[in-house]
């Protein structure tokens, strides 16, 4: 029926457009082409590649500067280089970069997940960009004892074809002291609709960056003050340090498949501005849990809602891995800030150094009760006034 309408005639232009569109296929969620650097370069794996500028010797990638494929077990000055996954990764020398062009859905929000490890530099950081958007990701803090971590960064696609660039902006005396990167993946993010009875967007944290099914370290969400381009839709990470996005395959998660583990005390804060009606009473409820990662107790969080703040200790009933907590507040404005951070600096008891902390999930903000006169009370008044009048 729709096809018979004038609008949908198969005009030659339309067919051409259709063909043009299908020529470049949109990037799919998951690993980018050769995102794990396991595809052998022409001529096989050898140590130095891409020394001559702009020559694409790493399949699917363009490189500039000293970009080297490193192999697991490879040593540098007596130190074994860390390859996060598989047998190969790339190391970016001073000012070196790798990039890949991808076809995206213009206007959509995407998140890039990648793994990175430090080598010998003291101040390693990585500039991840999809021009004109970019962010410097600080690799200085080691969150896990494995020596590498996964990070996520999000961008809004301003074009149909964009270039994802990883650049080492460092200038070390030893030009090989650059970061190692591996396992680069992408995911198109959907911003969940706001539920009628919950003012929090993505309060269950189910929408977030790509996570490999078998990656057991979770994904770090570094500082991101822009709610519009957050890897965790609805939320911002407003602290210097990262929080960890965790999955139920490797951690204890209170609800469904995903949650947030707060790390580094006050230096790891997630927050959201939720819509409220001034002077109305609200209740913030959430699950507070243990990630099941042998994190040393005590665990506690500070929860904020408007001008209310509460310190809540994790004290679950029996063998549950989480408890439910709440905080009552009266909204003072049209938008109210809800925020969480860990009260303590926790580390794992098994390695004594990986950062860990309390888990937050299923965050809700609901209007609680009503200060207005109930219909029943109104009825009573009506009856009384009728009686009095008689």
Ligand X SMILES: *[C@@H]1O[C@H](CO)[C@@H](O)[C@H](O)[C@H]1NC(C)=O
List interacting residues with ligand X (CB under 6 A).
53-54, 64-65, 85-86, 95, 127, 129, 134-136, 167, 212, 214-215, 283, 318-319, 326-328, 368
d(CA 386, CA 245): 62
Q: CB of residue 212 vs ligand X: minimum separation in angstroms?
A: 6
Nearer to ligand X, 54 or 77 (CB): 54
d(CA 181, CA 97): 11
State whether residue 2 is helix, strand or coil: helix
Q: CB of residue 16 vs ligand X: minimum separation in angstroms?
A: 33
Q: CB of residue 107 vs ligand X: minimum separation in angstroms?
A: 22
| Structure-token pair, residue 349 | 């008891």
Nearer to ligand X, 374 or 385 (CB): 374
Q: How many CB atoms sit inside 10 A of residue 319's CB?
A: 5
Nearer to ligand X, 95 or 275 (CB): 95
Q: Which residues pair with 163 in a beta bridge?
A: 101
Nearer to ligand X, 53 or 173 (CB): 53
Nearer to ligand X, 4 or 318 (CB): 318
Report the DSSP pairing between strands 180-189 and 109-117. antiparallel
Residue 384 host element (H or E): helix 375-389
Nearer to ligand X, 185 or 274 (CB): 185
d(CA 316, CA 301): 14
Q: CB of residue 113 vs ligand X: minimum separation in angstroms?
A: 13
Closest CA to 236 of 343, 356, 117, 341: 341
Q: CB of residue 78 vs ligand X: minimum separation in angstroms?
A: 26
State whether residue 20 is helix, strand or coil: helix
Q: CB of residue 123 vs ligand X: minimum separation in angstroms?
A: 14
- Torsion sign over Cα 368, 370, 375, 379: positive
Nearer to ligand X, 39 or 191 (CB): 39
d(CA 13, CA 25): 19
Put residue 30 in one of left, alpha, beta given phi > 0 → left and psi -120 to 50 → alpha. left
Q: CB of residue 281 vs ligand X: minimum separation in angstroms?
A: 8
């Amino acid at each position: 029926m729709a096809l018979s309408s004038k609008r949908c005639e198969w005009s030659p232009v339309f067919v051409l457009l259709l063909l043009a569109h299908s020529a470049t296929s949109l990037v799919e969620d998951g690993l980018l082409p050769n995102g794990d650097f396991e595809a052998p370069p022409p001529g096989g794996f050898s140590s130095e590649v891409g020394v001559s500028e702009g020559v694409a010797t790493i399949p699917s990638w363009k490189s500039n500067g000293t970009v080297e494929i490193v192999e697991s077990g490879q040593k540098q000055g007596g130190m074994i280089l860390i390859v996060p996954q598989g047998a190969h990764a790339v190391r970016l020398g001073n000012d070196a970069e790798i990039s890949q062009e991808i076809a995206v859905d213009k206007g959509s929000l995407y998140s890039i997940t990648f793994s990175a490890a430090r080598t010998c530099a003291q101040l390693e950081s990585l500039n991840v960009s999809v021009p004109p958007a970019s962010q410097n990701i600080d690799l200085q803090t080691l969150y896990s004892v494995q020596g590498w971590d996964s990070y996520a960064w999000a961008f809004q696609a301003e074009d149909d074809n964009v270039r994802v660039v990883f650049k080492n902006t460092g200038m070390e005396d030893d030009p090989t002291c650059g970061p190692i990167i591996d396992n680069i993946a992408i995911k198109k993010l959907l911003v969940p609709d706001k539920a009628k009875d919950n003012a929090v967007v993505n309060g269950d944290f189910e929408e977030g960056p790509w996570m490999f099914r078998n990656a057991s370290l979770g994904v770090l969400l570094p500082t991101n003050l822009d709610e519009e381009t957050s890897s965790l839709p609805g939320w911002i990470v407003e602290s210097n340090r990262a929080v960890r996005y965790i999955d139920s395959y490797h951690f204890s998660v209170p609800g469904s498949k995903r949650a947030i583990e707060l790390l580094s005390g006050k230096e790891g804060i997630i927050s959201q501005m939720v819509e409220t009606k001034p002077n109305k009473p609200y209740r913030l409820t959430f699950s507070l849990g243990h990630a099941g990662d042998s994190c040393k107790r005590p665990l506690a969080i500070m929860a904020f809602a408007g001008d209310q703040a509460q310190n809540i200790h994790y004290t679950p009933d029996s063998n549950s891995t989480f408890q439910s907590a709440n905080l009552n507040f009266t909204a003072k404005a049209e938008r109210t800030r809800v925020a969480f951070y860990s009260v303590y600096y926790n580390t794992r008891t098994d390695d004594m150094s990986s950062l860990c902390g309390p888990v937050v999930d299923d965050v809700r903000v609901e209007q609680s009760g009503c200060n207005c006169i109930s219909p029943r009370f109104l009825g009573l008044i009506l009856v009384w006034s009728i009686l009095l009048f008689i």
